[in-house]
Amino acid sequence: MFIDGNNLTINQIIDVARNNAKVQISDEAKNAINHSRDFVEKIVEEHKPVYGINTGFGKFCNVSISKSDLKLLQKNLIMSHACGVGNPLSVEVVRAIMLLRANALSKGFSGIRLSTIQRLIDFLNLGITPVIPEKGSLGASGDLAPLSHMVLPMIGLGEAYFEEKKYSGEEILKKFDLMPLELSEKEGLALINGTQVMTAIGSIALYDAINILKTADLTAAMTMEALNGITDAFYPKVHEIRNQKGQLKTAENILKIVEGSKNVTAQTELKVQDAYSIRCVPQVHGASKDAIEYVEMIINREINAVTDNPIVLSDEGKVISAGNFHGQPVALAMDFFAIAISEIANISERRIERMVNPQLSGLAPFLSKSGGLNSGFMIPQYAAAALVSENKVLAHPASVDSIPSSANQEDHVSMGTIAARKGAEILFNTSKVLSIELLTAVQAVDIAECADKLSPVNKKVYDLIREKVSYMEKDRVIYPDIESCYDIIKSEALITETEKIVGNLY
């Protein structure tokens, strides 16, 4: 894979983060990088005071640094800014961070040496993953603390993983016969002043969210089968006259999924209407799809954006200190992401309740034919409710908060990395809720003894679940069943198999 700062995609990020795809810098990007670096070296030789090159940082922007101390300045920057705390970010997230930072630097607006970017690429291709604590970024000036941890092993400090084993920065360099990188003028700042941590977390969450949105339509359709759902609410004209894109697509999906079913019904056939959690699936799922489409637009822009400071405009002979490091676009988008995905869990949990509650389902209480001695599916609904409640707390927007830093020089920050992390956690919780709905729905189908009446698509889903999870005749330990459903969802097997029949669900 070649990167040039302009054409990186989310699918390519996933390929590098999860599949260890190899990365190279394009020749065009190398020329841009070298051109930008030549201009920085000219500034150094002319002793002009330029922020980030020969001055201090933040509140120290007015402090001039002697030429003899410029390399130490960059090293000190990395060491002093590596203040992250908490659990390490996952290997896949860190790999995405490294790729995104190398891609942004490849645009040629950062004044960094090609050899320094190449060290970052070498780490990626060798499978060396810096240990980056998940907490400590304000999201402006960029992701300073976590990105500093990314740089530490490159200069022989900090820690890194290789093949699931942790090494010190010094050890990992010795293992691969690499010398510690000596950072030159502007390079420390170029490596850490950007939004790549929030963007990496957001990119991976976004990729997985699309699978979850498709899965939500499948789980809702299976629940409709178990509860004799009414298809009239999905009639195309109903959604055409509202003209909301996601809603139209969701209604179309549901009708395709249940096509051929002998379980679903028409209005007044068994009942006049369904509850909102079934009848309003197009409106709720669809609105979340529209929200995620907006998030996708913002993340795709940020993937190939210059988020450095100062920005080196070598063609114009300028170095401009501005604010592209500010993570507000990503912060707002990921807060929206969190709310949109929370709603998928909210409505899913209500469908779970409808299946386990005999007053609402007409089925055996808690989907157990021997209730009392057996609790059946009573507590999976509890677990789903707990996850939904946690999501409500996490969905509070991070971007509405700000706290001044650097002696009030940096007096408004984005909290974008917190927004991204919360969004990813909500996505995880929502995946589990959908796993519980899917598990509950196939149990409900068996309790209703209607598996032979499923639509071809839902029969495929049913069979995929039943290959891993058997019908629960009497109480057993349920959490492995939930995990099995989660693994099936995460593997994208459900989507791969069903889209062979109905086409793209997103």
> Alpha helices, DSSP H only, in 47-113?
70-81, 91-105
C-alpha dihedral over 436, 439, 440, 445, to 10 degrees? 160
Active site residues: 51
**Structure tokens given for 448:** 């209703």
Residues 6+ apart with CB under 8 A from 320: 310, 311, 313
**Structure tokens given for 163:** 């093949």
The residues pairing with 107 across neighbouring beta strands, listed in sequence order, are: none
| Nearest of 341, 287, 295 to residue 202 by alpha carbon | 295
Distance of CA 412 to the CA centre of its chain: 25
CA angle 108, 109, 113 (to 5 degrees): 60
Other Cβ atoms within 10 Å of 288 Cβ, number: 25
Please tell me the distance from the alpha carbon of residue 490 to that of residue 52, in angstroms, as a whole number.
43
**Structure tokens given for 275:** 């509850």
* Residue 162 φ then ψ, to 5°: -145, 120
**Structure tokens given for 457:** 């698509």
Name the one residue in this structure whose structure tokens are 């090159």: 53
Which is it for strands 24-25 and 2-3: parallel, antiparallel or unpaired?
parallel
Name the one residue in this structure whose structure tokens are 């659990």: 87
Please tell me the distance from the alpha carbon of residue 358 to that of residue 311, in angstroms, as a whole number.
64
